[in-house]
Amino acid sequence: MSAGTMSLEQVQRAMAAAVMQPLTEDEQMRSTAADGRSMAAIAESLIAPNSRLSSFERLEIYNRQYWFRVLGALAEDFSALRAVVGARAFEAISVAYLTEHPSRSFTLRNLGSKLPEWLAQHPQMAGRRHRLAVDIARVEWAFVEAFDGAEHDPLTAEQIATLDGGSRLALQPHLRLLALEYPADEVVRGLHAGEKRQASEAGIASEEIEEAPAALPGIRRRPAWVAAHRVEHAVYYKRLRREEFVTLRCLSEGKPLADAIAAGFAESRLNEVQTARCLRAWFANWAELGWLCAPELELLMEGM
Amino acid sequence: MKKNQLNAMLLTAALSGLMGGTAIAAHAATQSPAQANTARLMKAGFRYDGTNAATPKHSCKGQNSCKGQGGCKSSDNGCKGKNSCKGKGGCATDGSKMPGHFA
């Protein structure tokens, strides 16, 4: 079938399939499609040749530019992951991931949304650093979400005055909670700071400098609870105690306030006085940072 | 202490903290932006200090709404050395080819 006998939708789908097909190892367009058809024949059905380029060569330009663009975008958002697994493994991860989860959005911001989950399900892709790599991918993706997540009005004193143990609260959409197996937030901070120094010293970041996996002396598996959030247009991450993390997570899941507190301290070793002191300090801190807001249903009701 | 009493005490602690924090935030809003931000940022944790902070493309970091439109990523990234049509006036329009590139 040629483009002349296809509907616009058929042409678009055929073009997208061709453009999103992975490149060869030397970054050329493959000679055959996934279904075994000749790419030269597919190209001829979609694009006419000109005096300088064949149909295959013209289609190949789009195929290559798609991959260069999405691979570059993913490497930018997951630079610490790239450093931890090494450039070669990261490229293999990127190609495999993007083949399963190609760009589906008008914005490349969403390109890595499924990468942490995907990497968790593909341990062979990251080798012996797999669990650490998954945690790092989660931290880096949380920063993307914290950067441009929505921000609602925090709870007002009038709203707080009406709260009791059965009240349900919501968290700011830009606040992301992470339970990690490794202190990946520290690793990401260290790697990003190193990259920034390197870029500053060299004047420009070189893609060739860090090909091998980064050395990570002293990294040990120990749980960490982290909140990634935004203040004044900048992203921050804050370490949380486990009890603090569980209480916040329960609130985000819509549990009543009293139940969230009970769940947060269910396995805690803190005594009653320590627990009360922590709760007072944490809730004050969350309020100062504007983390707590009314549930969306309530916001909708107010808007009616 | 009975369980109900304990729960009531903890809830009171949480709500008093919430009210106190909200009052501090409200007070900060009446101060100069610099003063208000300093107090708030002290409690925010570590600032995410990404690779791109020192470069113009930092403005797009994370949101990337301009990725793919040519405005966000710097020209030394992504397509470096790989642009088969670079310098030929736009591959999307005339299909120009670097001499010998596809030989």
ipTM of the complex as predicted: 0.74
The total of structural domains in chain B comes to 1
pLDDT exceeds cutoff 50 at B39: yes
pLDDT exceeds cutoff 70 at A203: no
Nearest chain B residue (CA) to A238 = B45
- Asked whether residue B27 is assigned to any structural domain, the reply reads yes
- Asked whether residue B72 is assigned to any structural domain, the reply reads no
- Asked whether residue B87 is assigned to any structural domain, the reply reads no
B7 touches chain A (CB under 8 A): yes
Across the interface, whether the CB atoms of A287 and B62 are under 8 A apart is answered no
- Asked whether residue B94 is assigned to any structural domain, the reply reads no
Judge whether A75 and A29 are in contact, CB under 8 Å.
no
Q: What percent of chain B has pLDDT over 70?
A: 43
B35 touches chain A (CB under 8 A): no
Dihedral of the alpha carbons of B80, B81, B83, B86, in degrees to the nearest 10: 100
Q: So what's the pLDDT on residue B5?
A: 81
pLDDT digits (tens, 9 = 90+) for A127-160: 889 999 999 999 999 999 999 999 999 999 999 9
pLDDT exceeds cutoff 90 at A181: yes
Judge whether B39 and B28 are in contact, CB under 8 Å.
yes
pLDDT digits (tens, 9 = 90+) for A207-224: 545 577 887 777 889 999
**Would you tell me how many other CB atoms lie within 10 Å of the CB of residue B27?**
11
Judge whether B80 and A221 are in contact, CB under 8 Å.
no
For residues B62-77, give the mean pLDDT. Answer: 38
Radius of gyration of chain A (CA): 24
**How many CB contacts within 8 angstroms connect chain A with chain B?**
214
pLDDT exceeds cutoff 60 at B101: no
Please tell me the distance in Å from A117's CA to the nearest CA on chain B: 19
Across the interface, whether the CB atoms of B78 and A69 are under 8 A apart is answered yes
- Asked whether residue B58 is assigned to any structural domain, the reply reads no
- Asked whether residue B40 is assigned to any structural domain, the reply reads yes
B98 touches chain A (CB under 8 A): no
For residues B34-43, give the mean pLDDT. Answer: 74
Q: So what's the pLDDT on residue A18?
A: 96
- Asked whether residue B67 is assigned to any structural domain, the reply reads no
Nearest to A200 among B48, B54, B77 (CB): B54
Nearest to A287 by CA among B27, B37, B23: B23
Q: How many CA atoms lie within 13 A of A46 on its CB side?
A: 25
Please tell me the distance in Å from B57's CA to the nearest CA on chain A: 11
Rounded to an integer, what distance in angstroms lies between the CA atom of residue B89 and that of residue B4? Answer: 76
All residues of chain A having their beta carbon less than 8 Å from the beta carbon of residue B22 are 154-157, 160, 287-288
Rounded to an integer, what distance in angstroms lies between the CA atom of residue B8 and that of residue A292? Answer: 21
Print the domain residue range for B36. 3-44
The model carries a pTM of 0.80
- Asked whether residue B96 is assigned to any structural domain, the reply reads no
Q: So what's the pLDDT on residue B40?
A: 76
Please tell me the distance in Å from B63's CA to the nearest CA on chain A: 6
A46 token code pair: 């979609």
pLDDT digits (tens, 9 = 90+) for A37-85: 999 999 999 999 999 999 999 999 999 999 999 999 999 999 999 999 9
Q: So what's the pLDDT on residue A5?
A: 84
